[in-house]
Amino acid sequence: MAKYVRCLMKMSLYIVQAEWYNGAMKRIYLFGSLNADLTIRAPYLPKAGETLTGSDFMLTAGGKGANQAYAAANLGGRVHMAGCVGEDPFGDMLLTSLQKAGADVSHVRRTARGTGVAVILLSDGDNRIVLDRGANGEAEGTDVDALLASAEAGDIFMTQLETPLEVVRYALKTARARGLFTVFNPAPAVREAQELVPLADLITPNETELAILTGEERGEEGCRKLLAMGAGAVLATCGAHGSLYCGQDGIMPVACVHVGKAVDTTAAGDTFCGALAVRLAEGAGIAEAAKFASLCAGVSVTRRGAQISMPSRREVDEIAVSLHE
């Protein structure tokens, strides 16, 4: 009987997949950063002036915007991405990665300024990141206009803070005016981003970003303050403790899903956001979408790298079935 139930669960998952490709799913519009990630592992975080011998150097595609677009496309989302990269090999790598995942990158603009770069230091599953914005700083409102020209009311729009703040503001306003559901991932957070909070139907800070935006160390108090500031709903990610959903209907914790040992948390938040966008585009409520996003993020942390660590939809569905066995 249990085997029969598992087969039915798998069949239902694949039926849902077929419905997406028939156009039932809303489109997802991502505006944000595209970076080349230079990652190296260290035995511990170095002190000032200290030189360490590292290992396992990797050059991979990254950037919060591109990561979220890749995660969503790799999970079956109908993704359209806009941003800027340089006329260099890093830019080629980023565009190729997104195209292989199935994302539309026709609105990613190439500039004379070099592609953005992130230098990532890994130690014991944790990470420290230093960014050079590069071409991401060239993003303009016209890039937003081009991206959203085909958008329709009810589609999903997602953006972050690795592009100029004034352009992010314009993007959220434009998406809201066109009737899209706006998801704002305030990363990396700055106090000035408080003015963008009322433009978000859903805001997705982590614990550090929540504290920067609200001044509150406690998650529940910070979430309530974001609601008071005008956010439609809040979904705060809390690392290994899961996430916290806060809406007009109350507060609900969403458990973290552990599927193996965490070895690299670099793209966990971006995987979460991309997966969240996919389930929202499928018509799920925020709390339900958060559960799916937690599973996807739980898979990503068991692997090294950013986009290369992100799971496919078939893989996630199979893991979900096995967790219920």
Between the CA of residue 125 and those of 63, 111, 256, 291, what are the distances in Å? 19, 35, 16, 23
Between the CA of residue 247 and those of 84, 216, 253, what are the distances in Å? 34, 18, 12
Q: Give which of 324, 275, 325, 321 is closest to 298, Cα–Cα.
A: 275
Residue of 37, 104, 155, 270 with catalytic role:
270
Cβ contact 285:254 at 8 Å: no
How far apart (Å, rounded) are the C-alpha atoms in residues 220 and 36?
A: 35
Indicate if 270 belongs to the active site: yes
Helices 2-19, 313-323: inter-axial angle, 10-degree rounding: 150
- Give the long-range contacts of residues 143-146, CB within 8 A, separation 24 or more: 143/31, 143/82, 143/83, 143/84, 143/107, 143/109, 143/167, 144/31, 144/82, 144/170, 144/171, 144/174, 145/174, 146/82, 146/107
Active site positions, annotated: 270
